[in-house]
Amino acid sequence: MRRVGVLFGVIALLSGAAPAQQEIEDAAPAETAAVARGPSPAVMAPKAAKNRLLDITTAGPRLVAVGQQGVILTSDDGTAWTQSPSPVSTMLTRVHFTDAKAGWVLGYDATILQTADGGATWVLKHHDPKGRALYDLLFLDSNNGIAIGAYGTMLVTTDGGATWTARDDALTGLGMHLNALQKLADGTLFIAGERGLMARSTDAGATWSILDSPYAGSLFGAMPHGDKGALVYGMRGNVYAATDLASCPVVDPATWDPYARETVADAEKIAALGWRKIESPVRESLFGAVPLASGGALLIGVNGTTLKLDAGAATITAVKTPAVETLAKGVRFGEHVFAVGRRGVEDLGAAP
């Protein structure tokens, strides 16, 4: 069965197009001279900040954003943006910094870029024209990191990102898109993905347990919740919270059929799985979460949807912002929230 990659679905929404088959993801790339030469560098564009962008984060006192055609941008104030030279022109999906200087960018073709100067310059560390898109990244320390992506892709490094090796285990063997990777407050690693996939690891990613999920739709993001829990969000405005991930029952990946599952509707049955559904006022899909100083979060997504989740993850309310087009990710910077999406970088105003 051919499936549309999750980030391609997001990109289709950002471009205003209906989702289509992802040829880059589903078709074997041809052996061409262009492939033999390696990736082409991104074109420097004067209006790159209005390009379609997929992620934004902070690197010390600056913002860094990434998106289509290999674009990487930096800003010290959220208003004036500078495009950094990028060694690739492929779609870039995620940017992650471990401190103010050391950062990483992920993208299509299993692309991994590294910076040591806060995003001014970037070096290609991994690229495979036959590889899958990478969607999220986490470094556990200066040496050990994990990157996840489409069709169960998981790459690991033990040498600070100098080399990356594909992981092959029960989780990756499911072939589900792995969309989000988070380290929870108690150190547990958590993955959310396609068809409601949830997985946890208590040994720094050496082994993974598949959780019995209450939701059968795709989950696009996750964040820590309390001392031992997680919060997930995804398609059609669905949001779930668990206060103790260790108590959530697991399933046998050998018999788990993601295509035979249905979303659990009964609140008691959801609770028996260790989760609680948080009612949302919208049915638009949610792609990003911005933690707030108050302890809550802003959830953002399709058509500029912006929701405020209270500190106790009990209620969700709609928030009016200038955004009217799809937003992919956001971040707090100073007193404001900045998001990226179809219209590039957008200032959503003061953080509530």
Cα–chain-centroid distance for residue 99? 19
| Tens digit of pLDDT at every position of the chain (352 positions) | 445 445 545 655 554 443 332 322 333 333 334 445 679 999 999 999 999 999 999 999 999 999 999 999 999 999 999 999 999 999 999 999 999 999 999 999 999 999 999 999 999 999 999 999 999 999 999 999 999 999 999 999 999 999 999 999 999 999 999 999 999 999 999 999 999 999 999 999 999 999 999 999 999 999 999 999 999 999 999 999 999 999 999 999 999 999 999 999 999 999 999 999 999 999 999 999 999 998 999 999 999 999 999 999 999 999 999 999 999 999 999 999 999 999 999 999 999 8
Q: What is the pTM of this model?
A: 0.91
Residue position matching structure tokens 């913002």: 63
Class of residue 252 by CB neighbours under 10 A (exposed 0-12, middle 13-18, buried 19+):
exposed
Q: Which two tokens stand for residue 265?
A: 């509707």
Q: Which residues pair with 57 in a beta bridge?
A: 64
CA–CA separation, 312 vs 225, rounded Å? 9
